[in-house]
Amino acid sequence: MAPTTLITGGVRSGKSRFAEQQTLRYQPPLCYLATAQALDDEMEERIAQHRARRGADWQTVEEPLALPQTLARLDGTYGAILVDCVTLWLTNLLLARDQNDTERNEQIVGTVHRLATTLRAMQTPVILVTNEVGMGIVPEHRLGRLFRDLAGQTNQILAASCDEVYTLICGLPLKLK
């Protein structure tokens, strides 16, 4: 079983750069498993900036929804896989389902547990980036509160299953586990 690492922190805390540095410890080819979808110009620009930062040792795989299945399919193909980011993946799952809140949340949490199970079986090292969203104010809208709660629950599930967990504050990593 290969090592798994979860990297969390606030927006623009340096998570992605740190995750890229951690991934570069492994032999190429390296996989950047992107969960973002370029649905507007601003997001296209963010994606372009991330791509420009990475070198030729990286291959990008885009997967907005089927993260556990894609990781299992890619296992053994790369020296390491960087998933950026779990909270965008959650957003995609949350918006892709048209059920009541309870059913949707149960399905998403079940998918997160499948991801944790997949991670424990991987032969390829995996580094996951996620956002810590529960340290601010309570969101005004229902969907924002659902997302915050799901992100917190997801981060707990993944942190419990990963070998190492870091948080970044002001660009500085702090090892939690």
User: Angle, to 10 degrees, between the axis of helix 101-121 and the axis of helix 86-96?
Assistant: 140
Which residue in 32, 50, 63, 87 is the catalytic one? 50
**Nearest alpha carbon to residue 25 among 64, 79, 100, 91:** 79
> Catalytic: 113?
no
- Cβ atoms of residues 42 and 91 within 8 Å: no
CA distance 126 to 114: 15
Kindly list the catalytic residues.
Answer: 50
